[in-house]
Structure 1
Amino acid sequence: MKVFSKEQIYEGDKVTEERQKLPPSELMERAGLQIFNWMHMRMQGAQVPIHIFCGIGNNGGDGLVLARHLITHGYNVETYVVNCGNSRSKDFLTSYDKVKEVTKKWPQLLKCESDFPEIHKDDIIVDAIFGIGLNRSIEDWIKALFHHFKASEAFTLSVDIPSGLYTDKPVEDVNGVVKANYTLSFQSPKLVFFLPETADYTIQWEVIDIGIDREYLMTTDTEVELISKNEVLPIYKPRTKFSHKGDFGHGLIIGGSYGKIGAVQLATRSVLVSGAGMVTAYVPECGYLPLQTSLPEAMVMTDIDEKKITDINFDITPSAIGIGVGIGTDTSTIQAYEAFLKSNKVPLVIDADAINMLSENKKLLKLVPENSILTPHHRELERLIGTWSSDFEKLEKASTFSSKHKVILVIKGAHTITVYGQKKFINVTGNSGMSTAGSGDVLTGIITGLLSQKHLPIEAALFGVYLHGRAGDLAVEEFGYQSLLAGNIIDYLGEAYIDLFKQPEQAQEEVKTEDKA
């Protein structure tokens, strides 16, 4: 799913009006009607007090259209105009006049704190004050209104975006943003729904279709995309009846040090479970027995050193290599790493201390092959690209780094974001239970396994992140958030593959069957 920028949304509105020959307020009518349909389907005429707070721009106009439909269908509605300026938009005024035609109870004008209405916990608030066009600071009395919403504990529904939240820059004042329980976003979600600093301003979101021109939506390229099942299904490669292990590549995991062989075990096992035909682990001598006994399906090669990697020397021809899990940053390991990078011609997945060694020795970045996949967590990314003042700056720096060094960055997090030049791909799978030791090692193995199967690097990164998160989502249903282990994610990779081909109704039926059992 594409995530359109603010400028593209405005352009889409303009194109739609021109191509569909719409009157100026028609898109506002569509938006308000769709929000009404969403509420009406869920409320079915319930007489819960609904407080609709409208700004004086087009977002407020959407709220007025909603109010009109709710009023004509007999709902208990109170409508307010938040007087946040002197200039009303034309479409807002059109919608305002239409509301006056259907009720004698005209919208109340709010100008200061003394005008705030009483709101009870069981009421519903509709926030239609500011939309994506907000470009100025918010007055203190309006911030107080937002606090009034929060203090009431009433369910808050935001129209398109929580008021006070920008689409393209960080929040200036945390008290100047509505905390929404639910946001109905027009045509596509907003990037800020997925960034750590801004995601908490809406607990849930949903996209509603307001009829933006289909050709525009299909042909317009966006810098940001959401990656879900629909996006990864075309990446999947089915197997033929007469295929054999040699068709699915040979993955190599290089890593480990004394006390950290478990990281290699997790990554190596993940290579196989993700579908690679063969896998070899290259570890210090101390890792030989643990790996041979715990993972009989894998082959093991060892460094001459007992406790750390000092010389990366192997006589196999791997299809892809994952390097860095548990490897440490000993001086001799850095030297071995540099020598390896100078001679390597195989697609790479670079993780953990292999990233940290690049950060500490920037000259090594010149040796990293094009389209290598780096999988940093927060601190590793900070060491690699430098500090940032906001999530927007972080993504900008990540894009600059990716473009400069021609690599793919997989920024791990609640919504893992894969950065490929100026493109950003946001993953929708995964959960907080995966915040556990070894989860990143599993991801390294999955992506290495997919690379081994001749997926393009960007495909391997996107598919790997999706499968990793989906396996975690399936596993957490059995183990819970606190007790989920990295190994459980591997155990559910097969289920994640099967889940790719389940229809939504099939998945729902299985849940019902489990509930009955």
Structure 2
Amino acid sequence: MKLYSAKQIYKADQISIKKEEIGSNELMERAALQLFNWMHLRMQGAPVKIHLFCGIGNNGGDGIALARHLVDHGYNIEVYVINYSEKRSKDFLINLDRLKDRKVWPNFMNCDDSLPEIGKEDIIVDGIFGIGLNRTPDDWVAKVIQHLNDSQAFILSIDIPSGLFTDEGPKDVNSIIRSNFVLSFQTPKLVFFLPETGPFIEQWEVLDIGLDPEYLKETETDYELIGKNEVLTLYKPREKYGHKGTYGHSLIVGGSYGKMGSVCLSSKAALQAGSGLVTSYIPKIGYVILQASLPEVMVLTDVDENELSNINFDIKPNVVGIGVGMGTTKTTTTALANFLKVIKLPLVIDADALNILSENKDLLKSIPEDSVLTPHPKELERLIGKWKDDFDKLNKVKKFSKKYKCIVVIKGAHTIIVHNEKGYVNTTGNPGMATAGSGDVLTGVITGLRAQGYAALDAAIFGVYLHGRAGDIAVESTGFQSLTASHVIDNLANAYLDMFKLPEQPVVEEENK
């Protein structure tokens, strides 16, 4: 699913209006009707008080038009217009007149007005600001927003939580609505999925308001949302006459004294992801551990007992996953530097290998093209430097990806895969996966997919999705607190099977005749 910018959505509005030969107020009416239908289906005329807080732009016009439909169906409403400017959008004024025709008079709130009383059991509809907001709200408007947040009432936002910018980070978190639910027109917004802005949205749903499908299809976006439908197009089915050599050979390089578990996790994950063969390259100290715990995995050892000192092998893997548990000693740093000078194979680079690169940035130019880097936030900061907000971070990662011709997997609640100028936002995963070894598993999954012939970007996108989906399936039986990295590995098979599972259809019983 494409994630459109505010400018692209505005353009889609204009093209739709022109092609359909309708007025902009008719498009607003279409949006308001979708909002009403969504609410009415769930509320069915429930006797609850609905407070609609509307701005004086088009987002406020959506709220005013919604109020009219609610009144027509007997709902108990109170409408407030946040009078933050003398300017009014044309369609806001049209819908304001329509509401007044029904003898409903909004409360126009100004900076000196007292704040309305809102009960905990009431519902707030937030239509103060939309996607066009380009500055921090005035202090008195921020106080209104804080009052709504403090009310403990259920808050439903129209299109985007008021006070949240669409294409840049927040400047004042106290002037942003904290929405229980957002009804987003045509597409979700990128800010729904970023660490700084995502916490303002508990749940969201897209309402199709009929924007021009041709424009939406042909328009390229900087970001895409990745779900089951998107990864199904990437999946490579197995051949009937294939053998273990057909599905590639993964080499997992890592480990040091006391940190062999990470190599075990990555190696097992590469197997579970479908790699035909897996070899672990480790210090001698881990030989018995690997042989005893993973009988399917072959083992090569470094000349050093406790750390990697000379990454040298005589096998021909298809891909190398490197960094898990390897440490950052001077000896290992030298070993990695020497390895990068000669290696031509695709790499999946994680953990301590990333930390070594961040301390020795001249080594970055030695990374083979189309390598996949999988940093967590702190590792990413060491690589690209500090950022002022999530949008700045994404721009820095895009430049990094382009400069070093690599794919960067920004791990988080919604992991984002960046390649050149484009980002892919993952939808799977859960808080239980914030646990030791989870990243090692992801490294193994991506390495295993790469071994099977998946292109680097496809392996990263598909691998992140599978990893998160395995965690989602596992957490159903473990709960968040007890989920471990091993549980994720054990459910990779279920994640594959889930891709082809049809949605359950509701059972409809025939009426007795």
Cα distance per residue 1:121-168 (max 9 Å; x no partner): 111100001001112231222111112212221101000011111011
Alignment of 1:107 onto 2:106: yes
Distance 1:439 1:61 in 2: 46
- Kindly state the Cα deviation for residue 455 of structure 1 after the two structures are TM-superposed: 0.2
Aligned to 2:254: 255
Partner of 2:59: 59
Counterpart of 1:152?
A: 151
Aligned to 1:431: 430
Distance 1:237 1:45 in 2: 49
Quote the residue 1:353 is aligned against. Answer: 352
What does residue 200 of structure 1 align with? 199
8 Å contact from structure 1 (residues 260, 326) kept in 2: yes
8 Å Cα contact 1:80/1:109 also seen in 2: yes
Q: Does 1:9 align with 2:45?
A: no
Residue in structure 1 matched with residue 479 of structure 2 by the alignment: 480
**Partner in structure 1 of residue 88 of structure 2:** 88
For 1:227-246, list aligned pairs within 5 A: 227-246=226-245
Between the aligned partners of 2:111 and 2:382, the Cα distance in structure 1 is: 47
2: CA distance, partners of 1:62 / 1:270: 49
**Which residue number corresponds to residue 224 of structure 2?**
225
Q: Relative to structure 2, which stretch is displaced further, 36-45 or 140-149?
A: 140-149
The answer to whether the 8 Å contact 1:113/1:145 transfers is no
Letter in 2 for 1:463: F
Match of 1:378 in 2: 377
Tell me what 1:118 maps to.
Answer: 117
Q: Tell me the distance in 2 between the aligned counterparts of 1:309 and 1:324.
A: 10
Matches of 1:164 and 1:150 in 2, distance apart? 12
Deviations 1:386-412 (A, max 9, x none): 011111111111111011111100011
3-state SS of 1:114 partner: coil
Measure the CA separation in 1 of the matches of 2:322 and 2:267. 11
1:74-85 paired onto structure 2 within 5 Å: 74-85=74-85
Q: Aligned-pair distance for 1:464?
A: 0.2
Tell me the residue number matched to 1:512: none
Give the distance between the partners of 1:126 and 1:24, measured in 2 at CA: 22
**Aligned equivalent of 1:414:** 413
- Contact persistence 1:228–1:427 (CA under 8 A): yes
Q: Report the Cα distance in structure 1 between the residues aligned to 2:220 and 2:331, rounded to whole angstroms.
A: 46
Residue 116 of structure 1 aligns to a residue whose secondary structure is: coil
Deviations 1:242-297 (A, max 9, x none): 21111100000000001001100000001100001010000000110000000000
Report the secondary structure of 2:120's partner residue: coil
1:47 touches 1:76 (CA, 8 Å); kept in 2? Answer: yes
SS of 2:125's partner is strand
Corresponding residue SS for 2:274: coil
- Equivalent pair of 1:113/1:144 in contact (CA under 8 Å): no
- The amino acid across from 1:15 in the alignment is I
Matches within 5 A, 1:111-510: 111-112=110-111, 114-505=113-504
Counterpart CA distance in 2 for 1:118 and 1:429 is: 39
Larger displacement relative to structure 2 (275-284 or 388-397)? 388-397
Q: Name the residue aligned to 2:42.
A: 42
State how 1:65-76 maps to structure 2 within 5 Å: 65-76=65-76
Other structure's SS at 2:504 match: helix
Bigger shift: residues 391-400 or 134-143: 134-143
SS at match of 1:185: strand
Question: How far apart are the structure 2 equivalents of 1:113 and 1:463?
Answer: 54
Kindly state the Cα deviation for residue 333 of structure 1 after the two structures are TM-superposed.
1.2
SS of the equivalent of 1:50 reads strand
Letter in 1 for 2:31: A
Task: Quote the Cα distance in structure 2 between the aligned partners of 1:45 and 1:359.
Answer: 59
> What residue is the counterpart of 2:510 in the other structure?
none
| Amino acid aligned to 1:26 | E
**After the TM superposition, which parts of structure 1 deviate over 6 Å for at least 4 consecutive aligned residues?**
none
Give, in whole Å, the separation in 2 of the partners of 1:495 and 1:385. 36
CA apart distance, 1:112: 3.2
SS in 1 for 2:224: strand
SS of 2:157 mapped into structure 1: strand
Residue 368 of structure 1, CA deviation: 0.3
Rounded Cα–Cα distance in structure 1 between residues aligned with 2:181 and 2:98: 27
Secondary structure at the residue paired with 2:113? Answer: helix
Aligned residues: 507
Cα offset, 1:115, TM superposition: 4.0
1:114 positional shift: 3.1
Classify the secondary structure of the residue corresponding to 2:446: helix
Give the letter aligned to residue 279 of structure 1: V
Residue range with higher mean Cα deviation, 329-338 or 1-10: 329-338
Letter in 1 for 2:73: H
Amino acid across the alignment from 1:269: K
Percent identity, aligned pairs only?
A: 60
Q: Distance in 2 between matches of 1:261 and 1:77?
A: 62
- Does the residue aligned with 2:285 lie in a helix, a strand or coil? helix
Q: Which moved more, 1:473-482 or 1:448-457?
A: 473-482
Moved more, 115-124 or 203-212: 115-124
Task: Find the aligned partners of 1:429 and 1:400 in 2 and give their Cα distance.
Answer: 26
Return the alpha-carbon distance in structure 1 between the equivalents of residues 59 and 494 of structure 2.
43
**In the alignment, what sits opposite 1:29?**
29
Structure 2 distance, partners of 1:390, 1:151, is 26
| Per-residue deviation, 1:432 | 0.7
How many angstroms apart in 1 are the aligned matches of 2:329 and 2:201? 45
Contact 1:376–1:411 (Cα < 8 Å) also in 2: yes
Give the alignment's TM-score, normalised by structure 1: 0.97
Name the Cα RMSD after superposition.
Answer: 1.1
Q: Deviations over 1:28-75 (max 9, x none)?
A: 111111000000000001111111111000000000110011111111
For the residues of structure 2 that align with 1:494 and 1:137, how far apart are their CA atoms? 47
Measure how far apart 1:113 and its partner are: 5.1
2-side partners of 1:152 and 1:81: how far apart? Answer: 18
Deviations 1:320-359 (A, max 9, x none): 1100000111112112111211111111100001111111
Per-residue deviation, 1:473: 0.4
3-state DSSP class of the match of 1:60?
helix
Shift of 1:18: 1.1
